[in-house]
């Protein structure tokens, strides 16, 4: 679609396979992507992603409501709470040992990964809308971290488990959530410095 839309005006970095592609979001995650149309822009954007200076906020609908008062969460390795009830998850992530399509929380190997999240809206204690932001950008990071914390994303067939929202609490909304065809994750905000002019840009 990009090749058709941009008619050969994408950065050549990445070759025929991935022209202009600076970063990715998971398949079936909705939301924002930035694409480079010149090699200069591509280098400048790639550097910002490598330095983790790009602002990326996601919206997710998860099972349950993470709370600083939950002793189970407080006792979980790598999980802590910061001022304002912000959940912080810091682990390493690596490919799952038996399922190569998945990522897993590990401690001895893998790559360092930090996710922060806060509750935006509590849906009767059974689910919540979360704002999540990344200090690092690893494959499936938010999905793996939220599942590790016991609050997997609604609709996530890979990490979400078999949990369902109770129909007696939510009625038709439960049916919609329980049959949601993808992970309920949306790349909502993307902020970076324009790689040529230096202007601060933010998209929502």
CA 153, CA 5: separation in Å to the nearest integer?
Answer: 32
Question: Of residues 26, 28, 39, 122, which has the active-site annotation?
Answer: 26
Helix (H, G, I), strand (E, B) or coil at 59: strand
Label residues 129-153 b or e (16+ Cβ within 10 Å = b): ebbbbbeebbebbbbbbbbbbbbbb
* Digitized pLDDT (tens) for each residue of the chain, 204 residues in all: 888 888 888 998 888 778 899 998 988 999 999 999 999 999 999 999 999 899 999 999 999 999 999 999 999 999 999 999 999 999 999 999 888 889 999 998 999 999 999 999 999 999 999 999 998 888 899 999 999 999 999 999 999 878 899 999 999 999 999 999 999 999 999 999 999 999 999 999
Partners of 57 in beta bridges: 133, 189
Distances (CA, A) of 82 to 17, 74, 121: 42, 12, 18
- pLDDT of the residue at 99: 87
Q: Record the pTM.
A: 0.91
Give catalytic status of residue 99 as yes or no: no
CA 69, CA 181: separation in Å to the nearest integer?
Answer: 32
Please list the alpha-helical segments (H only) found in 92-179.
141-148, 167-170, 172-178
- pLDDT of the residue at 46: 94
Q: What is the DSSP letter of 65?
A: -
CA dihedral 104, 47, 44, 188 (to 10 degrees): 40
Q: What is the DSSP letter of 54?
A: S
- pLDDT of the residue at 8: 83
- pLDDT of the residue at 18: 85
Phi, psi of 129 (to 5 degrees): -90, 125
Q: Which residue from 130, 116, 120 is spatially nearest to 83, judged by alpha carbons? A: 116
- pLDDT of the residue at 93: 96
């Amino acid at each position: 679609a990009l090749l058709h839309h941009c008619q050969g005006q994408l950065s050549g970095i990445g070759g025929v396979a991935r022209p202009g592609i600076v970063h990715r979001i998971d398949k079936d995650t909705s939301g924002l992507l930035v694409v480079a149309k010149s090699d200069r822009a591509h280098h400048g954007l790639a550097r910002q992603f490598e330095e983790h200076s790009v602002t990326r906020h996601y919206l997710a609908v998860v099972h349950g409501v993470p709370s600083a008062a939950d002793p189970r969460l407080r006792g979980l390795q790598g999980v802590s709470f910061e001022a304002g009830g912000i959940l912080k998850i810091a682990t390493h992530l690596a490919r799952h040992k038996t399922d190569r399509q998945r990522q897993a929380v590990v401690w001895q190997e893998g790559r360092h990964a930090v996710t922060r999240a806060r509750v935006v809206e509590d849906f009767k204690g059974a689910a919540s809308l979360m704002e999540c932001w990344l200090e690092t950008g690893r494959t499936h990071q938010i999905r793996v971290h939220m599942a590790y914390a016991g609050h997997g994303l609604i609709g996530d067939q890979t990490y979400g488990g078999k949990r369902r929202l109770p129909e007696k609490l939510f009625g038709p909304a439960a049916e919609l959530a329980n049959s949601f065809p993808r992970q309920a994750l949306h790349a909502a905000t993307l902020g970076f410095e324009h790689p040529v002019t230096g202007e601060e840009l933010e998209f929502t």
